[in-house]
Amino acid sequence: MLNRIGIIVKPNQPEAISLAKKLVDWLSQRSIQVYVDEAIAPVINHPLSCPRSEISRWIDSLIVLGGDGTLLSAVRAMEGENIPILGVNLGGLGFLTEITLEELYPVLERILEGKMEAEKRMKLSATVLRRGERVSEYSVLNDVVISKSVLARIINVRSNIDGAYVTTYRGDGVILCTPTGSTAYSLAAGGPIFYPSMDSILITPICPHALTNRPLLIPDRSTVELILESEESDVQLTLDGQVGCALHPFDRVVVTKARDYVLFIKSPFKDYFQVLRTKFKWGER
């Protein structure tokens, strides 16, 4: 039985804030203690609030109201905590926030009855090494991306897997993604979709100069090392499309499967393939 539920809301979205207020009332009527992000607590006049970075200390489940970007931000706040997350889509395409507004309360009723089903999603850990020293480390749910800026020339990125040389990608960059991230940037770059509960890592080149460079699927136990071999100084490392840092020539980015994972509460009313059909409009003319 879940007794303490947190709510994180997409900022500056009136629909999400209005829904949060209604949801707090609905849960409180069922004797559920509700904690909300301190950014919206004054707006909805709710006394139990805390910083997003600390909300995991007080809850045993989390509801995210917004789009995939809001959910990715919430996952970072939950880092290291395997707390079930219910993503409610108030945004656009919404692969991660797969619960619709119409499904929200029926799904919550089932959760409160103890009928919750959650799915584990793997994450990636990315470490930036500069002249042998660790300068930054990140944990991501979707993808790790090395890419040039708008004005930069083609960049060269050498790739090693478990110490073995694979190839040097020449083009706009390289994407390393999880199964969850296979429907994000990697898909737009020509990568395949694979089932989100799988444990694998996908390497997808971005606009490769050689058309023979194709996406490569490898085991999740692999260690991938990407080395920026270009002299270009305007190259970025981007994590989940939201955070990142500038890379220097010959920086090394080492990517492995993260130790922690994310738990997503599944909709009891549809499966993943129905989500794909709906989002991609498969079968429509």
Catalytic residues, which ones?
68
Report in angstroms the alpha-carbon separations of 255 from 59, 184, 239: 30, 18, 12
| Cα 246 to Cα 236: distance, rounded to the nearest angstrom | 5
> What's 193's DSSP letter?
P
Task: Report yes or no: 168 and 182 within 8 Å, Cβ to Cβ.
Answer: no
Task: Report yes or no: 284 and 268 within 8 Å, Cβ to Cβ.
Answer: no
Angle, alpha carbons 30-73-190 (nearest 5°): 120
- Strand runs labelled E in 38-172: 49-50, 61-66, 85-89, 118-130, 133-140, 143-148, 155-161, 164-171
- The β-bridge relationship of strands 216-219 and 49-50 is unpaired
Report in angstroms the alpha-carbon separations of 144 from 37, 160, 226, 248: 27, 15, 11, 16
Question: Which residues are CB-contacts of 259 (< 8 A; sequence separation ≥ 6)?
Answer: 125
Task: Report yes or no: 76 and 139 within 8 Å, Cβ to Cβ.
Answer: yes
| The residue type at 182 | S
The 3-state DSSP class for residue 181 equals helix
- List beta partners, residue 204: 175
For residue 106 the two structure tokens come to 């029926």
